A = this chain, B = another copy of it.
């Protein structure tokens, strides 16, 4: 699918570092046809960002079926750790945050992030502070995974993840 191709390629190069030609090639269509499906490159980027947040949300729903409270929070944490082993979802998120000075990108990113936040609140059914902590550690994992700290042999790098999480960020 075109959005999948866009997600992967934008994740690698970002909005400006990825050519529409590259995306079209990966999607198996011609570059001009991309512009029949999406009016501009940025519109495609925004659609990919929306898809990215939606995928995370779906994973949370799925991982917590039949669970609630503390158990649900733990399940979401583990699901997220697995999820960002897929570098696409991780890096496109980072690309989205980094281009938030652009209004269209910011609106889409806020929207996606907000839906995620509310879903965690609802599913976890816990207090404000726990939700905040959940997202705080999630954002830390993001940068740890972005920098590939697992393959970096420095003592401080080992401490970035809590002991019970080490090795659970299964990078490819």
Contacts and interface: CB of A to CB of B under 8 A. Distances in A.
Contacts of A87: 101
A91 interface: yes
Q: Count the copies.
A: 2
A71 interface: no
Interface stretch (A31-39, A51-59, A61-69, A143-151): A143-151
Contact of A16 (B16, B106, B129, B146): B16
A95 interface: yes
A20 interface: no
Interface string A117-158: 110010000001101110111011011001111001010110
A160 interface: yes
Interface of A: 12-17, 87, 91, 94-95, 97-101, 106, 109-110, 113-114, 117-118, 121, 128-129, 131-133, 135-137, 139-140, 142-143, 146-149, 152, 154, 156-157, 159-162
16 contacts: A12-B101, A14-B99, A16-B16, A17-B99, A87-B101, A94-B98, A94-B100, A97-B146, A98-B98, A100-B147, A109-B147, A113-B147, A128-B159, A132-B162, A136-B137, A139-B142
